[in-house]
Amino acid sequence: MPVIVVANPKGGVGKSTLATQVAGCLAAAGRAVMLGDVDRQQSARQWLALRPPALPRIDGWDVAAGDVLRPPRGTTHVVLDTPAGLHGKRLEAVLRIADRMLIPLQPSLFDIQATHAFVTQLREHRRGAEIELALVAMRVREHTRANEQLHQYLGSLPVPVIAWLRDTQNYVQLAAHGLTLWDVAPSRVERDLEQWAPLMHWVRR
């Protein structure tokens, strides 16, 4: 049972948005997916409470601090949302069960610095070589200097960038109703689904 962790110690980079969308991507493909939340804010859990029951099922996982080591049975995939400032024992607990990790970041100097330090920390960890890492650029605005700088920076990291997701209100509007890109008419989110294509392949393979 693969465990996909969405993590970045920097706050406000879109971890919960990415985690919920990844869970929806798996559910739409017929996977038995469980969405866990290590964040005290419990954003993913609140999102699940809004999700209409008629949609592809996503089970919630109440992850307590000492419970992270034991993924629940009966599912094919686990997606784990994490808090800002992830470090210490909580980071160790997450890394023990992680098979793959998505690291979201936005085109800002602060995100770049935090992400660089986090990737270095992960690579130096004893399980660093075992966990498959991938970066996802979030809230990207094309033809901006910040976006150009992000491209230059990410090209220097030893971690692949598998998706560039645009800055759009679609994610905000969908989240308000417990929905994902795969729960609405494709024509409504056509451009976003195109950007998700390589990420979908990474998540579902």
- Reply yes or no on whether the pLDDT at 110 is more than 70: yes
pLDDT digits (tens, 9 = 90+) for 167-203: 999 999 999 999 999 999 999 999 999 999 999 999 9
Q: Which contiguous run of DSSP H or E holds residue 147?
A: helix 145-154
pLDDT digits (tens, 9 = 90+) for 1-52: 899 999 998 989 999 999 999 999 999 999 999 998 887 777 888 999 999 9
Strands (E), the chain: 3-6, 33-37, 58-61, 77-81, 100-105, 132-140, 161-166
Q: Look at 109 and 8; give whichever has higher pLDDT.
A: 8
Structural domain boundaries of the chain? Answer: 3-204
pLDDT digits (tens, 9 = 90+) for 54-64: 999 999 876 65
- Reply yes or no on whether the pLDDT at 71 is more than 70: no
Give me the pLDDT at residue 62, please: 67
Quote the Cα angle for 47-53-57, to 5°: 75
Quote the Cα angle for 136-166-52, to 5°: 85
What homologous superfamily is domain 3-204 in, according to CATH? Answer: P-loop containing nucleotide triphosphate hydrolases (3.40.50.300)
